[in-house]
């Protein structure tokens, strides 16, 4: 009897040990975080690096990115299908905040747009300012000496392009109408797609287009395009990236804590270093420059003022009325 009791107890202990071992080693369920974002960050590969490093630091989270133009990225978040946005259009970002969909906006990085085109440069725009280049392209297009390819997708890049046409004093609606109705040489085309697709179309058509410098370097390096830079960057072609958490009072996914963890990571010294280092070895240039590092070190006062003038809202990257338990995010 004693022997049988000992066997039963041993079996119970064994089963219990296996159960405890399984419990301790069982795979943990990671919390999903969905980020709706712009195509330039995604297509350059930067977000792969960000995901890897963030998840290494915070293994409880699994980050997924939805890559779209800024307009669609913001709409996805409004629809409740994302937890935060990482985009580059201050005007649309401000509306996202004021309409109550977003909180805790944080400017995290910047680079510049440039104009690229065929090496032959029949429109003779090389070296001109962006505004003068657009005027020249609009004049030469109907003559058959220039084709312009627009993103045409309400992205941050498209918003910048429309702002430049306005600065040039040209009515874009009128130009597009004349392009279709009044010439045998249609010169204004709309890709309605991502930056890479737009660059590829411009390359096929020997056309000019506006692109962020990161996407241009990536596609040039990979051999996707043979276009060359014709108009360099400057104040009018500044490109600023911001992260914004979805307002938990409107967003039903309930991932506010996770989104704030990612925003704070991007804003941290470690996150800013990812921006600073990405692309240097492969492309010989930084693709996305770290804004917070630049601001802290005051390394370029002129550039800092440009960013503030262009991307700040009422003197701040996020006015206090649009902040929700931000902790030390603005400290």
Chosen domain end from 189, 208, 237: 237
Do 119 and 93 sit in the same domain of this protein?
no
Inform me whether the pLDDT recorded for 15 exceeds 60. no
Do 97 and 208 sit in the same domain of this protein?
no
The answer to the question of residue 330 being in a domain is no
The answer to the question of residue 328 being in a domain is no
Do 232 and 123 sit in the same domain of this protein?
yes
Do 244 and 233 sit in the same domain of this protein?
no
Q: How far apart are CA 89 and CA 292, in angstroms?
A: 18
Span of 175-179, 222-226, 236-240 with lowest mean pLDDT: 175-179
Do 255 and 196 sit in the same domain of this protein?
no
* Stretch 253-265: mean pLDDT: 95
Inform me whether the pLDDT recorded for 79 exceeds 60. yes
Do 116 and 59 sit in the same domain of this protein?
no
Residue 149 exposed, middle or buried by CB count within 10 Å (0-12, 13-18, 19+): buried
Do 199 and 53 sit in the same domain of this protein?
no
The answer to the question of residue 265 being in a domain is yes
Task: Give the per-residue pLDDT at 171.
Answer: 84
For the chain, what is the domain count?
2
The answer to the question of residue 13 being in a domain is no
The model's pLDDT over 42-54, given as tens digits with 9 standing for 90+, comes to: 999 999 999 999 9
The answer to the question of residue 154 being in a domain is yes
The answer to the question of residue 272 being in a domain is yes
Do 84 and 118 sit in the same domain of this protein?
no
Place of tokens 């995604």: 42
Do 55 and 132 sit in the same domain of this protein?
no
| Strand partners for 102 | 246
Inform me whether the pLDDT recorded for 128 exceeds 50. yes
* Stretch 121-136: mean pLDDT: 96
The model's pLDDT over 164-209, given as tens digits with 9 standing for 90+, comes to: 999 999 887 887 777 655 556 689 999 999 999 999 999 999 999 9
Do 221 and 255 sit in the same domain of this protein?
no
Mean pLDDT score across all residues of the chain: 90
Chosen domain end from 205, 222, 237: 237
* Stretch 127-150: mean pLDDT: 94
Task: Give the per-residue pLDDT at 176.
Answer: 74
The answer to the question of residue 77 being in a domain is yes
Phi, psi at residue 148, to the nearest 5°? -115, 130
Chosen domain end from 222, 237, 252: 237
Task: Give the per-residue pLDDT at 165.
Answer: 94
Do 150 and 102 sit in the same domain of this protein?
no
The answer to the question of residue 172 being in a domain is yes
In this structure, what CATH number is given to the domain that contains residue 208? 3.40.190.10
Domain that residue 233 falls in? 112-237
Inform me whether the pLDDT recorded for 9 exceeds 80. no
Task: Give the per-residue pLDDT at 326.
Answer: 96
* Stretch 91-110: mean pLDDT: 97
């Amino acid at each position: 009897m004693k022997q049988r009791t000992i066997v039963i107890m041993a079996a119970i202990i064994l089963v219990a040990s296996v159960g405890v071992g399984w419990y301790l080693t069982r795979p943990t369920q990671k919390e999903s975080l969905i980020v709706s974002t712009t195509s330039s960050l995604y297509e350059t590969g930067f977000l792969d690096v960000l995901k890897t490093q963030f998840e290494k630091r915070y293994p409880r989270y699994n980050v997924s990115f939805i890559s779209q133009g800024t307009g669609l990225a913001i709409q996805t978040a409004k629809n409740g299908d994302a937890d935060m946005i990482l985009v580059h259009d201050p005007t649309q970002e401000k509306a996202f905040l004021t309409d109550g969909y977003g909180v805790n906006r944080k400017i995290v990085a910047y680079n510049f747009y440039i104009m690229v085109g065929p090496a032959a440069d029949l429109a003779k725009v090389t070296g001109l300012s962006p505004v003068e280049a657009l005027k020249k392209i609009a004049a030469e297009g109907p003559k058959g000496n220039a084709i312009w390819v627009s993103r045409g997708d309400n992205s941050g890049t498209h918003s910048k392009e429309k702002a430049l046409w306005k600065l040039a004093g040209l009515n874009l609606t009128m130009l597009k109408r004349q392009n279709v109705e009044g010439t045998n040489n249609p010169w204004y085309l709309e890709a309605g797609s991502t930056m890479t697709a737009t660059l590829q179309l411009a390359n096929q058509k020997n056309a000019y287009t506006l692109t962020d410098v990161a996407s241009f370097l990536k596609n040039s390096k990979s051999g996707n395009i043979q276009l060359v830079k014709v108009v360099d960057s400057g104040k009018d072609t500044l490109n600023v990236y911001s992260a914004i958490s979805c307002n938990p009072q409107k967003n039903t996914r309930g991932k506010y804590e996770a989104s704030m963890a990612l925003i704070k990571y991007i804003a941290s010294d470690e996150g800013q270093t990812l921006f600073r280092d990405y692309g240097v070895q492969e492309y010989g240039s930084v693709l996305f420059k770290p804004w917070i590092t630049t601001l802290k070190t005051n390394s370029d006062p002129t550039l800092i003022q440009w960013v503030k003038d262009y991307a700040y809202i009422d003197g701040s990257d996020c006015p206090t009325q649009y902040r929700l338990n931000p902790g030390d995010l603005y400290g």
